[in-house]
Structure formats: structure tokens, C-alpha cells
A and B are shown apart, each in its own frame.
Chain A
């Protein structure tokens, strides 16, 4: 751990731990990673979030040195590593498919990297391996053949095998996906703790938004090989920069409209001042930002709608409304007073703050 601390301490603060510049990689005609640029700072815990097949694993493999980009460069701690193989990079990877050595025991798997590095005595290796196995709760399986493990157990051994190396940059590819919910939450806590303790930079690929928000201090939302937004979780959620981000992360009402002369007509009798070129736009409002009742402040918009569905979801109620135009709006409300039941077909006033809306130009990237 002192190794990582020493490495980061004497770097000028501006040197990113990882810098991706205009990375591009295609498999045949398929552009898997499309013009990705990203600066990851030392100590960052970055989540790469995106739907299946959007290129997350490919991006991580580029970072780890298993793929060479068609274009662009990869720098780690200011050094260009684009042409270096994985054995020369200060990175370690936890693979989506685990990749345990099937002819070795759990202990042999986890100690392999330390043996190769040749910096520790056998006793030290033993201690470090025991410690790493403890972190992932696999001590009891140390002498087990790695073939005789369940998926979740294999995943934890793969995690221990990378963690034990105390890598400068740790790359994790959906590394908790095979675990049950309880173990998964435990391991998430562990990962956060490990990151705080040993420091270093973590890059975690996931398609689970909750996991990304829980673990990461920065989230890169990926779609079709591109990074659509790279920001803190709250910015991703509250200030999505594209319609994709708005709808992929959390729930969103998306309302089609038109902008003319700086005014967006939403329909259902609503207008909104919004600067930008004339043309079709989409407006996003989160369900929890919609309130019941008329607004009197003037900084909000109000419309009348008919309740067509309500669902009790424990900590909140989910209400679906139909506006006069027939468009649906989903609102989530606290169940207060408890056990409130509204009659379906009831006409109610909905309102929300104008500042909570996001306007996306349609057709623009």
C-alpha cells in the first residue's frame, strides 16, 4: 500500500492515473469502442455503466492491454502504454469470465502473481494470500481445486487474485454479478473499504445502476461504444446530458415537444422558455419531481391529468396519469398519509419545478 501511496504522492495533481485519448476499436465492421476520451484521477473509483453489448468489456480490455486500439492512446500515470502488453502494465483485471487456472488450487491461483513478481518470501506470500482470501470470505476453500467451485466462489477467487497484487489500477468486469444479493452487498462494502484502505484507482464495469452509484465517485455512461457522460453520480442522475443517460439511469418521463423562437410547446397547454435552435426536442422530468396540486410560485408548470393507475411499492406510491392529450405521466410520491388510496379516474393537478426539467434537442448527438 505504501507503494501506491508513494507513486501518487509525488505526481503533480494534474497527472491522471489513466488517460484515454480518442480510443477507437472495431471488430470487422462493428465499431465496439468509438472515440472514447477519459481522464481518471488517482484514487478515483470509476464505474462504467451501460447496456449489454455497448463495449464495456472491450474498453476494459483495452485498458488492461489485451486489445490494441485501432486509433488513440492510453496513458497510465503519464506514460504511454498503448503498445505494452498486460504483463508490463501496472493494472490487474478481474475478468467477467473469471479465468481461474483450472489445474491449480485456490491458493495456487491467488499466489501465482506474487510468485511471478518474485518480491516476497514464501511466508509473506502465504500471509498475503490468506489476507486476500479473507477479504472475499474464501479462507475455507484455500486448498480446494479451483474447478470444484461455484460461480460465485470462482468470482471471489478471481477478485482475490487481482487484489493480492495491490495493483495501481484495478479493473473489474462485472465482478460481483454472480453473487446473491446479500453476498453482493457484503462484497460491495468490502470493495469500498478496500479502495479506501489500499487506495489506487478502480475501474468497475457494470450494468447495474445501483451498484455503480453505490461504489463509484464517478460514473461513465456508455452507449454503442461511446461515452455519453462522465460525471459524479448525482450529476448523472439529476443533470443527464443526453436522453439515453436520462432514461438508462433511473426512471424518467420523456415528453416530446417543439422549440420555436426560444419557446418549447409541450402540449397539454404547457410552454417553457428554452434557448436553442428550432426543431423537435425531448423533455425529461423524473417521476419523483412531479407533485400533486397546483403550483403557486410561478417557477413551475401545472397541468391537469387523470389518474389511470396506482401501485403501492413499499416506500413510495407510483401513480400513472393521462394528460388531456392522452400522454402518460408517471409520478412517485411518499405514501403520506399512510394508506392513501385515490380513486382511478380522478382528475388531479400535477406540477413540477421548471428547473428540474432537462431539454434535449432531438436528432442531435
Chain B
């Protein structure tokens, strides 16, 4: 590459880098610094410490782990469902595929809160599920176990993130050409082998984007657990919100957030590594 093209590509990248710095690096950098500071008399004091991280790991290990676990479950679930849905969009007859895609996009409308309250109504004591089951005579009284637990949180978060996850997977599948698929079948590959050997490796990046998107969203969410979750296993987002809120301990909140980010990053690195190994074509056996 000549210096000329290097210059122009840097020039082209500058606005994106600037936007990134403004929206992402600046605020995160600020909280990263804060996470090493202390609170004295409701004021942030400029005395560096690792104490916040020590406290985070000592006092909140359960919340950190269960949040990561829940985020992982939702991310896996959403990636698989998103893959199935995107496959249908890509490989069904064109008009049906487009219809499915349009439906996925339409469900993006309606805000996050509206969807959470919708689930509250659906799963609640007088909700559709309970009254339906009672109407059918399958149950005598409402099942209270539907709401205020991890199940409800997973359900709602899966529902909310699914259309977001479908898009990158569909984009990747759209780029998979028909001809190599035909060629693989011609060489004797069954539908399943075509899927594993030809389709999956080519949409790996889309799958990873969907997984990462979902994992990070769920790991950072504080609203679904508040509205739908139980009291037994509160997600870390709620604690972080509390620290920034009425506990007025931004350094501890920041440390919790960065511990969470580090945990998520570890999961993403592991998933990328394993996925890469699983999908790489075997070299000459």
C-alpha cells in the first residue's frame, strides 16, 4: 500500500474515529478513571485505589456471575433463534423471505419499556396465559411462578433482542452465494453438511455480532430484572444503578461496570476462539 492510499484511508476513517471517541471512548474513559477513585463525604476524592474492584469481587460475585450466566443463556438462545429465523428469510421462496424480514423489522417498533410491560401483563396473575389455561380448565388457579423470576427476564430479553440479532445474521447469509451451495450438493453433501461446511462458516461473523450484541445488552440491562425479575437473584445492572443513584458511589458503580465488561469480553474471546476452531475448514484431513 502506498503512503497516498494510507493517507486517504486515514482521512476517511477520521470522522468515524472522532464519532467513536465522542460517543464511546470519552464517557467510558471517564468512568474508567473514576473506578479507581474513592468517595469521601459524598464527594469523589482524587486518591487512587484498587479498593472498588476488590469490593466488587468480594461483595457481588453472585450477582456478577449470575448476570454473566443469564446474559450467556440469552445470547445463545437469541443467536440460535436468530439464525433459524434468518435462514428462513434467506432460503424460503423470495416473497416469503421478504415478508418474514419485514415482520422482524416491524417488531423493532415499540419501545423497550412497552415490551416489558406487555410481558408483565401476559405472564401476570390475570394475564393471557393464566386466564387462557384456566379457561381451558387445565389449571384451577393462576400460576404465580410465571412472573418475577429469571424465566420471565430471559423471555422478555430474548424477545426484545431477537430482531436486533436477526439483522447481522441475515446480512451475513445474504452474502452467501447460491452457487457454492449448489456445488456442495453436487459433490454429494447432504443438506446438513451444506449447512455446516458451507453456510455456517460464511456467516460466522454475523453470528458473532448477534451474540456479542445480545450478550452486552443483557449484561448491562437494569430494567428487565427490575420489572420482571425476582428478588432472589438480582442482576448486576440493578446494583450498578443503585451505586450511581441513591448510594452516590460512582467509583464502586464504575468498578462493577468494568468488571462486568471484562467478564463479557472474556466470554466473547472464548466464544470467538471456539467458534473459529469449530468452523474452520479442515485442511486436507
Partner of A101, one of B183, B185, B282: B183
Mark contacts of A312-348 with chain B using CB atoms, 8 A cut-off: 1 yes-contact digit, 0 otherwise: 0000000000000000000000000000000000000
> B185 contacts A86, CB within 8 Å?
yes
> B284 contacts A95, CB within 8 Å?
no
Q: In whole angstroms, what is the CA distance A162 to B282 when docked?
A: 19
Q: In whole angstroms, what is the CA distance A162 to B183 when docked?
A: 9
How many A residues face the partner with a CB closer than 8 A?
Answer: 35
Given the contacts A98-B179, A115-B285, A125-B285, A64 and B202 also touching, CB distance less than 8 Å: no
> A103 contacts B281, CB within 8 Å?
yes
Q: Which B261-285 residues have a C-beta within 8 angstroms of A?
A: 281-285
Closest residue on chain A to residue B204 by CB atoms: A103
Tier of interface size on chain B = 20 to 34
Closest residue on chain B to residue A101 by CB atoms: B180
> A108 contacts B281, CB within 8 Å?
yes
> B202 contacts A97, CB within 8 Å?
no
Partner of A122, one of B179, B180, B281, B285: B285
Chain A residues positioned under 8 Å from B183 (CB to CB): 93, 95, 99-101, 158, 161
Judged by a CB distance under 8 angstroms, whether A6 is at the interface is: no
Judged by a CB distance under 8 angstroms, whether A165 is at the interface is: yes
> B285 contacts A86, CB within 8 Å?
no
Chain A residues positioned under 8 Å from B185 (CB to CB): 66, 85-87
Q: In whole angstroms, what is the CA distance A161 to B201 when docked?
A: 20
Mark contacts of B217-236 with chain A using CB atoms, 8 A cut-off: 1 yes-contact digit, 0 otherwise: 00000000000000000000
Judged by a CB distance under 8 angstroms, whether B49 is at the interface is: no
Given the contacts A87-B189, A95-B179, A101 and B184 also touching, CB distance less than 8 Å: yes
Mark contacts of A74-87 with chain B using CB atoms, 8 A cut-off: 1 yes-contact digit, 0 otherwise: 00000000000111
Judged by a CB distance under 8 angstroms, whether B182 is at the interface is: yes
Judged by a CB distance under 8 angstroms, whether B177 is at the interface is: yes
> B284 contacts A111, CB within 8 Å?
yes
> A108 contacts B182, CB within 8 Å?
no
> A93 contacts B186, CB within 8 Å?
yes
Q: In whole angstroms, what is the CA distance A64 to B183 when docked?
A: 10
Judged by a CB distance under 8 angstroms, whether A259 is at the interface is: no
Chain B residues positioned under 8 Å from A162 (CB to CB): 186
Mark contacts of A45-77 with chain B using CB atoms, 8 A cut-off: 1 yes-contact digit, 0 otherwise: 000000000000000000011100000000000
Chain A residues positioned under 8 Å from B201 (CB to CB): 103
> A116 contacts B182, CB within 8 Å?
no
Mark contacts of B71-90 with chain A using CB atoms, 8 A cut-off: 1 yes-contact digit, 0 otherwise: 00000000000000000000
Q: In whole angstroms, what is the CA distance A86 to B185 when docked?
A: 6
Q: Which of A87, A97, A107, A111 has the largest count of B CB atoms less than 10 A from its CB? A: A87
Judged by a CB distance under 8 angstroms, whether B188 is at the interface is: yes
User: Which residue numbers of A lie inside 8 Å of B, CB to CB?
Assistant: 64-66, 85-87, 91-93, 95, 97-105, 107-108, 111-113, 115-117, 122, 125-126, 129, 158, 161-162, 165
Given contacts A93-B183, A100-B180, 13 further A-B contacts (CB under 8 A): A66-B185, A86-B182, A91-B186, A93-B182, A95-B183, A99-B183, A102-B180, A102-B202, A108-B283, A108-B284, A112-B197, A115-B285, A126-B284
The 5 A-B pairs with the shortest beta carbon distances in the complex, nearest first, are A99-B179, A113-B187, A122-B285, A99-B183, A116-B188
List 21 A-B pairs, Cβ < 8 Å. A65-B186, A66-B185, A87-B186, A87-B187, A87-B188, A87-B189, A87-B190, A93-B186, A95-B183, A99-B177, A99-B183, A101-B198, A103-B281, A105-B281, A105-B283, A107-B283, A108-B284, A111-B284, A112-B184, A116-B193, A161-B183
